[in-house]
Structure 1
Amino acid sequence: MAVPPRATDSFPADLDVVIPGSGPIGAVFARTLVDKGRKGDLRLLSVPTSKEYMSRDLSSWSPKSAFCRTGQNPSQDDSVNLPASAATRVIGGMGSHWTCCTPRQHELERSELFDNDQASAVQSMPLACTPKHADYIEWSCSTTILGNLSAPNSTHPKFRIWPNMQCMKLELAKGEVTKMTVKDILHDPSGTFEIKAKKYGHFMTEQTLSFCQVILKHGFAEEFNHLRKTGESERFTAEEAKEFKDRMDATWDRLDPLPFPLNDPDSQVCIRFSEDKPWHMQIHRDAFGYDEVPHGIDQRVVVDLRSFGYTTPKKENRVTFKPDTNDGFGMPQPTFEFEMTKGDRDRCDDMFVDMVAIARLLGGFLPGAEPKYLPMGSALHVCGTYRAGTGVDKSVVDKTGKVHGMGNLVLGGCGVIPTGNACNPTLTAAAFALAAADELDSVLPRPK
């Protein structure tokens, strides 16, 4: 992507759309609009994060008076915080650590703003990726969504990515966004400039999350050893057993005590949300820092179990901002007010018991990774902060993302999702973005 030495040196004067945000949802907006012939920019929007907590020995030094370092929030009440909530400040946004898991929403999770389709309990995990060959998978991200638009030397006449840019504020007048104030963080961090374009909460939800790791039962490994040696299995069809044996004969290292190919892909299993069990479980291996496997244990016999539950949208759960409480980028830092209902807590307990029962069917717990609840915010699936709906009393945007009462401000991302949901929300947010981009294209003047 061709980037000038300074943003103000060659900033285009005429833009159809400016998109502050470079994650997968921003990329969906950009790719859809460019494919329709629109002219726009994609730029990084810095999102603040919540503070971290550290316990200390009682003999350790601590200040007697309050003192706030950069990034700390004196307004945050610990009891209603989302202590593990975090955000990413890079091009690619939250997509830079997206698992690419895309389980479909159950009808009980779906918004009524769009028509529903019917979906299928235990199944392969839907993944946003493309297998290139047996040993390589291309995972979806902003780059793959943008396609050729993300090429390093792209000179597309209707699209440019501007990195190291921070949207500081939007100027509003008479129900319209008149301009955007932007900072060039890399080249001119002390100054700002303005750009213009034709288009530019309460009820917050987050998901409960439980986690454990399991070492596969000895009997399962022995079963596959028997299959490898004889080609016989009581679990699989004759065709499936032959396919496995042929693959092992071709790839198995005779000194390997495990009957699994070294390049065997990780497990990717999803147990869907249902009315009886209103949560979903992922059985796979993931790259989070809290789930590293000790070096002395073969990763092929370890799987992660994560169960995600929903929380009930309620007006009291919200995020607020104060002008004098800023993050390290000088932006207002969020203050969370979030509490679960009794129903949320009871459902979370049931989800935990269910996860343990399934884990015991698979094997024993990896030492140090026994079943536990993760702190609220760990799912990184905060939704509903600018929820979509039909009325201004309980929503911020309509189903196409347009802010109520504003003529040219459209919002996208997980914040538009109005329902309590237990699935990974990226795919749903992308669906909202597609609808929003189509609506933008229909109301903008036709490209010349």
Structure 2
Amino acid sequence: MRGSEMSRSFPPAVDVAIVGSGPNGAAYARVLSERAPGATIAVFEVGPALTDPPGLHVKNIADLDERLVAQRRSEGLRPHTATKEEAAYTDPTKRVVRAGTHLLPDGFQQPGEDGIPALAMSSNVGGMGAHWTCACPRPGDAERPDFLPDLDELLDDAERLLGVSRDPFGSAPYSDVVRERLGAEFDPGRRAERRVRSMPLAVHVRDDGALVWSGADVVFGEETRANPAATLFPEAQVRRVLVEDGRAVGVVVHDRRDGSDHEVRARFVVVAADALRTPQLLFASGVRPPALGRYLNDQPQMVFAVRLRDVARTPEAEHDPRGDTAIVQQSGVSWVPYTDEDPFHGQVMQLDASPVPIVGDDVPAPGTVVGLGWFCGKDLQASDRVEFDDTATDDYGMPKPRIHYTLTGQDRETFARARDSIRRAAAALGDPLGDEPFVLPSGASLHYQGTTRMGAVDDGTSVCGPTSEVWGVAGLYVAGNNVIPTPMACNPTLTSVALAIGGARDIADRLTADPSAVSAESGGHAVPA
């Protein structure tokens, strides 16, 4: 580790400047460390480092009080999670907000539109990768971009970086019963790769039985942590990408610790700052292609719960002492994939405890209460967008965002079909807990996509090309779920990391083809071993 927490210096120049330290920014740093080990890399993150190593998933913090502190520190300038030391911030609108995330304070809904009231972000090293569910299904049918012939190989590599296990809880009590019943209901007529199966998860089980969840720390990997040319700068907000003669040449960084501003020159700039703040930074930098911020996709989502019928309590289905609704060793997670015929995706999770009260004294065995979550593919339209104000600024001094978002007739039809589908799943599994599926507020999925979408050609409907390089601005790359151009219904992280790997390989190839590296001393918070 170079530099210190009390004082630090920013390098005058690097080969690659990466904005954002979530799974996608980490993927760029990892691939570049592997393929262009001599390249100097600086990763800038607006939020603090929560853990050592940086980017650790907060569920790996065993002490629950320490976990709450880490979540609160991720919540931007208006934190809301209560800890022993700090009072809770209460959102006066009573909008849904999850621990570790912070809401867009205003501008999330326009008159006469549906809006995205639960739109949320995380501001911390590791980004949303410190808080996600770690579900890593592969896209299928219309979810897949049809202009990437190497997509499956990129997805394979994304599974490697994320540490994905195809069936981590295959031996969980009742999981075979859940998949058998779901398969009988949904598999007929489906291709083999789109049939019900275990949900791939970015998690591994230690020898002592503890679960270790993948955060950006896993994506960074030892290759990045051991790379002396890679440096991570927490609490360092990039406010502008420098563009000269049609090429990105660096960034302007605002040090949130002391308020100073710094110019860092770079041969390549990667913006991986999430689906709201990536287009925001491009807009602030004067990079404003026609599709910037458009084709915003938030997955409409509904949830339901059932209790398995006709199953006997098994000896291994012992109650986890935490008594929460987390995924534990008694859990199974199953997946009902998206198809063009059924354009929604089902995530089916056996729970350690019921999410709704159970009447009577009969305490259900862990795994016999099953939560169902159905995510719908959006009818993509250019009018669904985030736009930015040239005159007003947000809490971080950036152009203020405003969301325009409307569900179409096709969306409502898809949602009605998804409701029928989740009822079918519930009936196949057992006895519903509650009368009707519950529709979550728009934005609750946290799976926002499309605002810097990828395209095969520069026809005005995309922001970047197949390697993630922004049209018309050489050396500027974008990364994140916002690059996904399709009506994705499944959890998008695996796909966005796969696209990031493709972009990182492109930069690595260009660096090795022209090995005249920028020499720079970097003093900050290094990615430690």
TM-score (norm: length of structure 1): 0.79
Cα deviation digits, residues 71-122 of structure 1 (max 9, x gap): 6436841524111111100111011121111111112211112026694411
1:29 equivalenced with 2:28 (yes/no): yes
Q: From 264, 285, 292, give the equivalent of 1:195.
A: 264
Q: For residue 24 of structure 1, what is the amino acid of its counterpart? A: P
What is the rounded CA distance, in whole Å, between the counterparts of 1:90 and 1:358 in structure 2? 37
1:220 equivalenced with 2:259 (yes/no): no
Cα deviation digits, residues 48-71 of structure 1 (max 9, x gap): 999967279xxxxxxxxxxxxx96
Is contact 1:71-1:327 (8 Å) kept? no
Q: From 102, 105, 109, give the equivalent of 2:136.
A: 102
Q: For residue 316 of structure 1, what is the amino acid of its counterpart? A: S
| Cα displacement (A) at 1:294 | 5.6
Cα deviation digits, residues 270-326 of structure 1 (max 9, x gap): 011123322110111589xxx956698554332210001100221111110113443
Larger radius of gyration: 1
Q: Equivalent residue for 2:250? A: 179
1:278 equivalenced with 2:278 (yes/no): no
Q: Which moved more, 1:120-129 or 1:327-336?
A: 327-336
What is the rounded CA distance, in whole Å, between the counterparts of 1:44 and 1:294 in structure 2? 41
| Cα displacement (A) at 1:129 | 2.0
Q: From 207, 217, 230, give the equivalent of 1:159.
A: 230
What is the rounded CA distance, in whole Å, between the counterparts of 1:199 and 1:253 in structure 2? 53
What is the rounded CA distance, in whole Å, between the counterparts of 2:267 and 2:466 in structure 1? 20
Is contact 1:384-1:417 (8 Å) kept? yes
| Cα displacement (A) at 1:34 | 1.0
Cα deviation digits, residues 106-153 of structure 1 (max 9, x gap): 1221111202669441101111222223622222210011122576xx
Q: For residue 452 of structure 2, what is the amino acid of its counterpart? A: Y
Q: Equivalent residue for 1:380? A: 446
Q: Which moved more, 1:345-354 or 1:114-123?
A: 114-123
| Cα displacement (A) at 1:342 | 1.0
- Secondary structure at the aligned position of 2:242 is classed as strand
Q: From 119, 123, 126, give the equivalent of 2:200.
A: 126
Describe the shift of the 1:178–1:110 C-alpha distance in structure 2 as closer, same or farther (beyond 3 A): same
What is the rounded CA distance, in whole Å, between the counterparts of 2:317 and 2:342 in structure 1? 40
Structure 1 segment 210-359 matched on structure 2, within 5 A: 210-217=302-309, 219-221=310-312, 248=315, 264-285=329-350, 292=355, 298=364, 299-359=366-426
Q: Equivalent residue for 1:54? A: 93
Q: Equivalent residue for 1:77? A: 110
Q: Equivalent residue for 1:92? A: 126
Q: For residue 275 of structure 1, what is the amino acid of its counterpart? A: D
- Secondary structure at the aligned position of 1:266 is classed as coil
What is the rounded CA distance, in whole Å, between the counterparts of 1:364 and 1:124 in structure 2? 22
Q: Equivalent residue for 1:243? A: none
Is contact 1:73-1:325 (8 Å) kept? no
Describe the shift of the 1:353–1:325 C-alpha distance in structure 2 as closer, same or farther (beyond 3 A): farther
Q: From 181, 202, 219, give the equivalent of 1:145.
A: 219
| Cα displacement (A) at 1:353 | 1.4
Structure 2 unmatched ranges of 5 or more = 48-74, 79-89, 96-102, 153-191, 270-292, 322-326, 518-529
Alignment length, in residue pairs? 392
What is the rounded CA distance, in whole Å, between the counterparts of 2:251 and 2:497 in structure 1? 24
Q: For residue 175 of structure 1, what is the amino acid of its counterpart? A: G
- Secondary structure at the aligned position of 1:379 is classed as coil
- Secondary structure at the aligned position of 2:13 is classed as coil
What is the rounded CA distance, in whole Å, between the counterparts of 1:165 and 1:41 in structure 2? 11
Is contact 2:468-2:478 (8 Å) kept? yes
Is contact 1:99-1:286 (8 Å) kept? no
What is the rounded CA distance, in whole Å, between the counterparts of 2:465 and 2:266 in structure 1? 21
| Cα displacement (A) at 1:214 | 2.0
Q: Which moved more, 1:297-306 or 1:338-347?
A: 297-306
Describe the shift of the 1:293–1:143 C-alpha distance in structure 2 as closer, same or farther (beyond 3 A): farther
Q: Equivalent residue for 1:421? A: 488
Describe the shift of the 1:5–1:133 C-alpha distance in structure 2 as closer, same or farther (beyond 3 A): closer
Of all paired residues, the percent bearing the same amino acid is 29
Q: For residue 127 of structure 1, what is the amino acid of its counterpart? A: L
Q: For residue 300 of structure 1, what is the amino acid of its counterpart? A: G
Cα deviation digits, residues 146-168 of structure 1 (max 9, x gap): 122576xx6x3211111111111
Describe the shift of the 1:74–1:17 C-alpha distance in structure 2 as closer, same or farther (beyond 3 A): closer
Q: For residue 258 of structure 2, what is the amino acid of its counterpart? A: D
Cα deviation digits, residues 381-403 of structure 1 (max 9, x gap): 11110111111411110011111
- Secondary structure at the aligned position of 2:304 is classed as strand
1:169 equivalenced with 2:240 (yes/no): yes
What is the rounded CA distance, in whole Å, between the counterparts of 2:115 and 2:431 in structure 1? 33
What is the rounded CA distance, in whole Å, between the counterparts of 1:45 and 1:393 in structure 2? 30
Q: Equivalent residue for 1:19? A: 18
Structure 1 unmatched ranges of 5 or more = 57-69, 226-247, 257-261
Is contact 2:10-2:262 (8 Å) kept? no
Cα deviation digits, residues 190-221 of structure 1 (max 9, x gap): x322111111121221111110122332x213
- Secondary structure at the aligned position of 1:198 is classed as strand
- Secondary structure at the aligned position of 1:410 is classed as strand
- Secondary structure at the aligned position of 1:194 is classed as strand
Is contact 2:350-2:367 (8 Å) kept? no
Cα deviation digits, residues 247-292 of structure 1 (max 9, x gap): x4xx6779x9xxxxx97431110011123322110111589xxx95
Is contact 1:208-1:379 (8 Å) kept? yes
Q: For residue 295 of structure 2, what is the amino acid of its counterpart? A: F
Q: Equivalent residue for 1:228? A: none
Q: For residue 342 of structure 1, what is the amino acid of its counterpart? A: G
Q: For residue 271 of structure 1, what is the amino acid of its counterpart? A: V
